[in-house]
Chains A and B, each alone.
Chain A
Amino acid sequence: MGSITLTNVQKSYGAVHVLHDINLDIRAGEFVVFVGPSGCGKSTLLRVIAGLEKITGGELAIDGKRVNEVSAADRGLAMVFQSYALYPHMSVRQNLAFGLENSGMPKAEIAERIGEAARMLEIEQYMERRPGQLSGGQRQRVAIGRAIVRRPTAFLLDEPLSNLDAELRVSTRAEIAALHDRLKSTMIYVTHDQVEAMTLANRIVVMRAGKIEQVGAPLDLYNNPANRFVAGFIGAPHMNFIEGDVVESTGGTVVIKAANGEQFTAPVPLNGVTTGERLSVGIRPQHMGLSETGRGLPAKVRLVEALGSETVIHAEALGQKLLAIVPGQRHLSAGEAITLAYDGAPIHVFGANGQRVN
C-alpha cells in the first residue's frame, strides 16, 4: 500500500510549463525527498500528487490505480503544509477531528485515533488549545498529527521544517525519521535544504526547472552525481569545479588548460574525450588537502575561516576560486602560497553539456 507512479506527468499554467514529463516510481513505504532550488517545481509536483492541482498531461497512479480525475479528498493522502495550515478557530482536538468527521467516521473511533496520535506526538496536554496559543514546534506536531489520524496511503510534507528555528529543526528532523520508521508509510517530503534531504531520504529526487535531474539514494547522489547540477547541489559547501579545455587525455590522467593558460592534471581515466573539449573537473572541498610534499595544485590563500575542528581555506588557483576543508587548526594567512593536494580524492568530470563523463 502506498506506491505512487507518475508517468509523463505534465503541468502547465497557460503557456508556462511548470513540470515537464515527470517519470517517477515511488515504492510503498519509501521516504522520498524532492529537493531543488526554489521555483524548480518540487512543490507543484507535490500538490499535483495531492490532487490540489490538476495535471495537464500524463498519468498519475496510486497503488496502480489511475487517479488523474480523483479529487484531493478521495486520494487517501494526507498533507503537512509549510505554514501548517491549522484551522485557527478550532482547538487542537477539533483540528485533528475535522477530517475524520468529514469522512463520516464514528465518534468513538475518532476519539481513539486522536488519542493515539496525541500520545505518539506528545501533544496530549494542549488538545483544547487553539493553534494561536501554541509554539511553532507544537503547531508543527499538530500538523503532523492531523495527517497521522487520517492513516493515509501516503504522507505529503511540504517544507515542514522551514518555519522552525535551527535547533528545533534538527530535533524535529530526527523525529520525522523516527516516525517514518514506526509508521512505515510512504512519505514524500519537499525541501530546498539538501541536509534534510540527505538525512531523511531513502531516495532523493533532485529537480531543476520542472525536470528531474537525478533520482537515487543519498550517498549515490553524493558519490556519483549524474550531472554538474546535482554535483553542485548535493553536499555542503558546494563542490569545487575547475573549468578548462582538454589538452591531452592519456591512460589514467587528463590534462586541461584553464582560462588563464595554466594547466591542471586530474588523475582520472577518461574515454572518448577529444582535445579542446570543455570539461569541468569537480572535487569536493572535503577531499582537498594541504600538500606536505609539494605535489599538487599551487594556490594562493584568499581567506581562512577557522572553525576549530576544521579550517576552511578559500584559495585561488588557475585563476579560479577553490575551497578546501582541512581537519584541525592551521595557521595560514591571506596571501600565503600553498599547495592543494587531491591525491586519491574522488574526482567528478562533467562535459560541456553538464553530464558526467567519467
Chain B
Amino acid sequence: MSQSQPATRPLAPAPKMSAASLALMPVHFIMGLADKPLRALQKAAGIGGMATFFLAPNMLIFSIFVLLPIIINIVYSLTGGTAIFLNERTFVGTDQYAHIFNCSNYLDPRSCQEDAFWTAVGNTFWFVVIQVTLLIVCSLITALILNRDLMARSFWRAVFFFPVLLSPVVVGLIWRWILQRQGLLNYILYPFGHDPVTWLSDRTVAFAAAVGVSIWAHMGFYTLILLAGLQAIPKDLYEAAEMDGTRAMRVFRRITLPLLMPNLLVVVVLALIKAVQVFDEVYVLTGGGPGTATQFLTQYIYETGFVSQPRNAGLAAAASILMGLVLVVLTLIQLGISKRNENKGKR
C-alpha cells in the first residue's frame, strides 16, 4: 500500500557537527567556565550591574587610550622641553601656540618662525581641495557607470574596490616602483619619444602623484557608498519620469541628484576628514619630498614629536590640537548630516 508523503516532512537533515562548530568547542568551553563566577557576580550586582560589567572593558580601554590622551594632549601643548613624562616637563603656557603663530606676514609661510608647520598646512590645504574634488568626481562617475545595467556588475565593483584593502605601505611601494626611473611609466612613455625621468624628484609631479595615488587607493570606498545611494533610489521613480517623458538631464537634476545628495554630502565630509589626515601612503611614496613638496600635517606632527632631534613633543601636541579642531568641526558636520538623513528616513 503506497503511503503519501506526510506534509510535514523535515526540510533539513539533522544538523551535523560542522568543522566550524568543532573549532568553536574550546571557546565554548572557556566561555562556559566563565559562567559560574559571573552568575555569582550577577547575584551580587543585579541585572543592571551586569550592564556595567559588559561595558567596563571597552570603557577602560577608551579611557586609557583615547580620553586620557585627549586631556594629556592639551597639557602637553602647554609644556616645553624634551622630556616624555609629564611631571618632568616645564609649564610654558601658550608659548607653543605663540611660536606657531609667530609670523611677520600671515600670507607667507616662509615668514613664520615655524615655517615647516605652515608649509605643511599649505600643502595639506591644497591637497585636500584638489584630492577631494577629483576623488568625488571620479567616484561619482564610477558609481553612475556601475549603476547601469552592466554585465557582471559585482566584478566591476570589485575591480574599483581592490586598492582600498591594500596597506598604505604597499600602495606607496607599488607606485614608487612604477614611478621610478626604470619604472613602468617611463617604459610606457618611451615609445612616444619621452626620455626617462625620475618622476618623484619633481616637486609638482610628486605632489600630483601624492594626489593621484591617494585617489587610486581610496576611490573604491566612496564609489561603494555612492553606488549604494544610487541603488536605494526607487526604480519606479525613473519609470514614472519615463512615463511623463521627462528628459534625461532633467531626470538627473530633479531625481538622481537630490535623492543622492545625502550620500554625496556624507561622502564629501568623510573624504575631507580622511584627506586632512593624509600621511601613510604619501609618506612611503615620497617621504614628504622632494624638499617639503609633499609634507603634510600628520607628517609634521610625527616628525616634530618623534623624529627630530631633540624631540619637540609640546610643539607637536599644539599642532595636533589645531588639526584636531578642524577634524572635530568636520565630524560634527558629518554627524549632523547623518542625523538629518536618518530623520528624513523616519518621516
Contact = CB atoms under 8 A, between A and B. Distances in A.
Q: Do A and B come into direct contact in the complex, CB within 8 Å?
A: yes
Contacts of A126: 8, 10
- Chain A: interface size category: under 10
Contacts of B15: 91, 128
A188 B60 CA distance: 45
Interface string A299-322: 000000000000000000000000
Contacts of A129: 10-12
B41 to A, nearest CB: 14
B25 interface: no
Contacts of B9: 125
A133 B8 CA distance: 11
Contact of A125 (B8, B13, B47): B8
Interface string A90-128: 010000000000000000000000000000000001101
A125 B6 contact: yes
B33 interface: no
Interface in B1-20: 6, 8-15
A74 to B, nearest CB: 10
Nearest to B13: A128
B29 to A, nearest CB: 15
A129 B15 CA distance: 8
Contacts of B13: 128
Interface string A42-66: 0000000000000000000000000
B14 A133 contact: no
Nearest to B14: A128
A71 B49 CA distance: 14
Interface residues of B, number: 10
A133 B6 contact: no
Nearest to B35: A102
Nearest to A126: B10
A102 to B, nearest CB: 9
A88 to B, nearest CB: 14
A128 B12 CA distance: 8
A134 to B, nearest CB: 9
Contacts of A125: 6, 8-10
Nearest to B47: A71
Contacts of B10: 125-126, 128-129
A133 B47 CA distance: 33
A260 to B, nearest CB: 45
A129 B12 CA distance: 7
A130 B14 CA distance: 10
B261 to A, nearest CB: 37
Interface in A59-89: 71
Nearest to B43: A71
Contacts of B12: 128-130, 133
Interface string A247-277: 0000000000000000000000000000000
A133 B9 CA distance: 11
Nearest to A72: B47
Nearest to B6: A125
A128 B10 CA distance: 8
Nearest to A130: B12
A125 B14 CA distance: 11
Interface string B8-48: 11111111000000000000000000000000000000010
B2 to A, nearest CB: 20
A152 to B, nearest CB: 21
Nearest to A133: B11
Contacts of A91: 15
B49 to A, nearest CB: 13
A49 to B, nearest CB: 17
Contacts of B11: 129, 133
Interface centre among B10, B13, B47 (most CB of A within 10 A): B10
A130 B10 CA distance: 10
Contacts of B8: 125-126, 138
A138 B10 CA distance: 12
Contacts of B6: 125
A153 B14 CA distance: 33
- The 10 A-B pairs of least Cβ separation, nearest first, read A128-B14, A133-B11, A125-B8, A129-B10, A126-B10, A129-B12, A133-B12, A125-B10, A128-B10, A129-B11
18 contacts: A71-B47, A91-B15, A125-B6, A125-B8, A125-B9, A126-B8, A126-B10, A128-B12, A128-B13, A128-B14, A128-B15, A129-B10, A129-B11, A129-B12, A130-B12, A133-B11, A133-B12, A138-B8
Interface of B: 6, 8-15, 47
Given A126-B10, A129-B11, A138-B8, 10 more contacts: A71-B47, A125-B6, A125-B8, A125-B9, A126-B8, A128-B12, A128-B13, A128-B14, A128-B15, A133-B11
